[in-house]
Chains A and B, each alone.
Chain A
């Protein structure tokens, strides 16, 4: 962690605070205007954000925090909020998705310790996928178990990119990584925009992703995801392959085969009726329908509503 954005005038209350932090090897960027701070977060994101309650006038503290969370949703950049003790009782922490808080005036030693704590906590909870920065397997299993235990019916949705391996062979790994990032972003955006409450997005690894949404949102999210994928995918294909509508590559046995262009398969298992007790049962059902979904041409989603 090197660059810290300090958005607000009263966090570094003495020049000494800044010096002490900088002496520890951190670079501090200060900003007191909302527009500048958001601009920086968008264009040149810092490694940590410290802001204060009431930044740049009423309500704008939240604008900034939302901007940081949105932009950095996959990078997990810690956000620290400074506030007066009188403001503490009125804060709705669901509304303020920050990682830690500090009471003003903030002593430089306290500030430094908070920064270091934020950093070490970031490493501790890091089961995130290094490419997409989405939560990895430990978090996914926990999220699925939580879904099973909850009363409300949810859909556990497994995404798989069809023909990803031959795409990688043809276009190279770095282009393959772009496609993975693309699917990660599309999924996060669609879930966030259509089914924010009680949802989850994770990256199992490779071209496998999982998202969980409430049952009533399954169709909308799957349809939007597929429609968006179909709109964006041409950016990741060569004009020749788009014109041909397919590409030639080798299958797993080394035979020359014609492959369809990239598509998405989503296999959905619902928890309606409390039929599952363990996440293993869900992934077993998922792999059955995944097999079927992948056998269909193009992008598809299939919902399993059977009783096990």
Chain B
């Protein structure tokens, strides 16, 4: 790959401003914001189910303007610090996909599913901050959205290569861009002043050996990403399940019994996720008029 081209991709991806999210989420939040009885916590709950808005929220609270750069890794803390009116502005300024594709919903469900697995595993391992790891799981694929939005032509080429040559999305991205979505997500997180505790699990979720300081949480996100895919829940527009790092698996040190119990717990929680997803999609259809009775 010519370095010029790679440099161009890097530059384009770094300058990304506003990532779009699902119209259904924004419609729901807009309704909530207009209702005087809605609490900040209730809106926070919905925002923390959306990988794009969650990333936006963290970017805002960690921006120099608010005075907490690289400090805030918790969505709940971000919401408490920013307050209702700023959250409302965040919703007004949110951009949405102009054309919704199944892939966008897939990736959204995958992100949410991964967050569920990360939270279950982190709690099982008795880690000190399961919310933080779950947040890292939620936004781990943010680089995919950036590639789709900023490099649409290359994105189509990647899709084609995944389908035709039966390679993983990761491999296709490296071949076509010389970069991959984990790396891109890591840069964005760094550029947005997110804490290192979130950056490493994002940038190392395909190869947790690369993690320097956050090995355990990177291993959890790596595991979460693969488990949610392996469960056939949703593929995040990547149809091949990537290989599990042996080292990460050993680091987690989960017994067969642990795994069984974890899987049961995840299955239960995924019902809630599926329910929420259906609600959001019906919100979407209602907004676009598709669901209206004739």
A positions within 8 Å CB-CB of B: 34-36, 38-39, 41-43, 45, 63, 66-67, 69-71, 73, 177-178, 181-182, 185-186, 188-189, 192-193, 228, 231-232, 234-236, 239, 242-243
Contacts and interface: CB of A to CB of B under 8 A. Distances in A.
B81 A189 contact: yes
Given A42-B60, A42-B86, A69-B85, A178 B68 contact: yes
B67 A177 contact: yes
A235 B93 contact: no
Given A235-B72, A235-B73, A186 B85 contact: no
A70 B128 contact: no
Contacts of A41: 89
Interface string B72-105: 1110110011111110111011110000000000
A236 B71 contact: yes
A81 B226 CA distance: 54
A35 B66 CA distance: 20
13 contacts: A35-B92, A35-B94, A63-B92, A67-B85, A69-B85, A70-B89, A181-B66, A186-B81, A189-B81, A192-B85, A193-B83, A232-B80, A243-B128
Given A67-B92, A71-B89, A181-B67, A231 B84 contact: no
Given A45-B65, A178-B67, A235-B73, A189 B92 contact: no
A232 B76 CA distance: 8
Interface of B: 18, 39-40, 60, 63, 65-68, 71-74, 76-77, 80-86, 88-90, 92-95, 128-129
A34 B128 contact: no
Contacts of B66: 181, 185
A189 B89 contact: no
Given A39-B18, A43-B63, A67-B92, A189 B128 contact: no
Contacts of A35: 92-95
Contacts of A66: 85, 88-89
A77 to B, nearest CB: 11
A284 B164 CA distance: 79
Given A36-B93, A73-B85, A182-B68, 5 more contacts: A34-B92, A38-B92, A70-B83, A235-B74, A242-B128
Given A38-B92, A43-B63, A181 B83 contact: no
B128 A232 contact: no
Contacts of B86: 42, 70-71
B40 A193 contact: yes
A220 to B, nearest CB: 12
Q: Which 7 A-B pairs have the closest CB atoms?
A: A70-B85, A189-B83, A39-B93, A67-B89, A38-B93, A181-B67, A232-B77
A70 B66 CA distance: 12
A67 B128 CA distance: 35
A66 B89 CA distance: 8
A173 to B, nearest CB: 13
Contacts of B83: 70, 185, 188-189, 192-193
A181 B68 contact: yes
A189 B76 contact: no
B114 to A, nearest CB: 23
A67 B84 CA distance: 10
Contacts of A185: 66, 81-83
B92 to A, nearest CB: 5
A177 B68 CA distance: 10
Contacts of A186: 80-81
A41 B88 CA distance: 13
Contacts of B60: 42-43
Contacts of A70: 83-86, 88-89
Contacts of B93: 35-36, 38-39, 42
Nearest to A184: B67
Contacts of A181: 66-68
A221 to B, nearest CB: 13
Given A35-B95, A178-B67, A71 B81 contact: no
B81 A182 contact: yes
A295 to B, nearest CB: 27
A188 B85 CA distance: 11
B80 A42 contact: no
Contact of A189 (B18, B84, B90): B84
